[in-house]
Chains A and B, each alone.
Chain A
Amino acid sequence: MEILALVKRVPATDSKIKVAGDGKSIDPQGIEFVLNPYDEFAVEQALKTKEALGGTVTVLTVGGPESQKELRTCLAMGADKAVLMKHEGPELDAHALATVLAAKIEELHPDLVFCGRQAVDTDDAQVGQRLAALLGWSCLSDAGTFELSDGSWTGTRDIEGGKESVKGSLPAVITCNKGLNEPRYPNLKGIMMAKKKPLEECEVQGAENKETLVALTPPPARPEPAILGEGPEAVAVLMDKLKNEAKVL
């Protein structure tokens, strides 16, 4: 079984994001970049599938040379090889990204593609589904469970307040949700072996954005907390604020 996991380098979720001078990108200064947390589920699921059925796991990212670090993390977790599709400059939109990925996937022809349900930087949650559409493959999005048997898959999609049970044929694109599995830590032997595993680089070609990022605006600063009073006197002030300012009563 040829398995592909799509991954992305993103700022750690507890980073304090500052908008850069151009107003359209984030200032990378002092930010720790990590493997997108949802992609950890994708890599784990790819590795589990390989462990059960044999085959190879390839991890692929579109990004700058610094994304090698996240690819190496995946190799240390146990992936067999990595592909870095080099792209710098403005980030590709979901359509452009799915298009370049689809072209590469035609070349790699995996049986299964796992990716995270969304990247936690843009929170777009579109790439997996668009990719399946372009390839004409089945797709399980927001996978909470996933199982393979004899060339077909069954799984559940996490939906608001419940689960949808779905089955489909291979090849397929699976977008992985939290809870699908428990991602492993890279073990130390894996880390030592990672540097000897192949990491192929190629250029992204012919990508064309249909959307343009106009501006990034940080959320408004939170107002300073205020102490309204103490003891019984505070109650009246609080009631007034809840009624007239917050308008929740």
Chain B
Amino acid sequence: MSRFKGVDFYAVDGLLDDEERMVRDSVREFVDEEFMPVVVEHHRAGTFPAELIPKMGELGFLGAGLRGYGCAGLNSVAYGLILQELERGDSGLRSFVSVQGALCMYPIHAYGSEAQKEKYLPAMARGECIGCFGLTEPDYGSNPGGMVTRAVEDGDSYVLNGVKMWITNGSVADLAVVWAKLGDEIRGFLVEKGTPGYSTKDVENKFSLRVSVTSELIFEDCRIPKENLLPGVSGLKGPLSCLTQARYGIAWGGIGAAMAVYEEALSYAGNRIQFSRPIAGYQLVQEKLVWMLNEITKAQLLAWRLGRLKDEGGMDFSQVSLAKRNNVWMALECARKARDILGANGITDEYHAGRHMCNLESVYTYEGTHDIHTLILGHKITGIPAYD
């Protein structure tokens, strides 16, 4: 088994402290030893390696950036490095951890009651309770504020009606964090698996993120106790603050996927001989490899700086938009170039580039599409929103 060595052209390692490097190496080893041997079979079957969940819990990957309640309490760079290493394996593996930590544990940690935190967070950190995050609807993707899922107060319960679409971990989740309108206001609700009126249906036949479960959540007069409302937040800023956390991690994840395809393309190009020499000896191929290295290096510095800003309390959501937009875009471009360098071999699952390339199409779209992040940044610098 070959070990993944990472890409570090600018000695970015020197910007990390010992703990951060140790976290990175530990996750890297986990991915090499536990995940890489099974990724292809899960990708073919379109399944998530659920057997790894308890192990990821035990190692502390779930909600790793949160403090207390059995979470590891890592700083932001160490947390980012976890996601980088996981996405080096597969975007689906990283998605699982992002959804669990940033989209489900984070809102409970930030906005939940003490009872909700005690009840769910330690079990979620151990991987015994899996979460999903229901924001997107069939008719409201980039514009989640328009959502039509509603909650109505009825005695000591809320009754939910509506449909959520494209929900990662949907059918496997024990707990759904669902955003719905209570009157005119968006609020967060905790819906446990098995609640009458709550059902799920998986999205089948995906080209992308096959190592991840994507489902539709259906609420038909789904009655939940009043104490399942997240008390600490109302309005779109609730879900958006979760997305900021998740997008932060995705900015790191993109680096991992890009490193994986770069390493594969570089090694292939060195061995594949066409005409008189290895294809790595041709200028056009070198240009592609250099492009990848160049973009990976920039992305690493961007993510590192963003992490430090996050810990210093000076991170703005628009900076997260810039990093998500750049790093996922460059990862997708790297995967396309790597696939190209691999020639026909690049279209089979004997190599990883094709899988990463297809995965990254999802990552480019979810958590705010590339273009929506362009608009967020455009709004930020001009003061004029280009959306209504």
A residues adjacent to B (C-beta < 8 A): 12, 14, 32, 69, 72-73, 76, 185-192, 194-195
Contact = CB atoms under 8 A, between A and B. Distances in A.
Interface string B24-43: 00100110000000000000
Contact of A185 (B2, B18, B29): B29
Contacts of A32: 5
Contacts of A195: 18-19
A188 B26 contact: yes
A229 B30 CA distance: 44
A72 B3 contact: no
B59 A185 contact: yes
B2 A191 contact: no
B233 interface: no
Provide the main secondary structure of the chain B interface. helix
Interface string B125-149: 0000000000000000000000000
Nearest to B71: A189
Contacts of A14: 2-3
Contacts of B64: 188
Given A76-B26, A188-B74, 13 more contacts: A12-B3, A69-B18, A72-B22, A185-B30, A186-B22, A187-B58, A187-B72, A188-B64, A191-B19, A191-B22, A191-B23, A191-B26, A192-B73
A76 B30 CA distance: 15
A188 B59 contact: yes
A41 B276 CA distance: 48
B46 interface: no
A244 B78 CA distance: 59
B276 to A, nearest CB: 15
Contacts of A192: 19, 72-74
Contact of B26 (A12, A69, A185): A185
A178 to B, nearest CB: 14
A63 to B, nearest CB: 16
A186 B22 CA distance: 8
Interface centre among B22, B30, B59, B72 (most CB of A within 10 A): B22
Contacts of B22: 72-73, 76, 186, 191, 194
A189 B72 CA distance: 5
A188 B3 contact: no
B179 interface: no
B238 interface: no
Contacts of A12: 3
Contacts of B29: 185
A185 B35 CA distance: 14
Contacts of A76: 22, 26
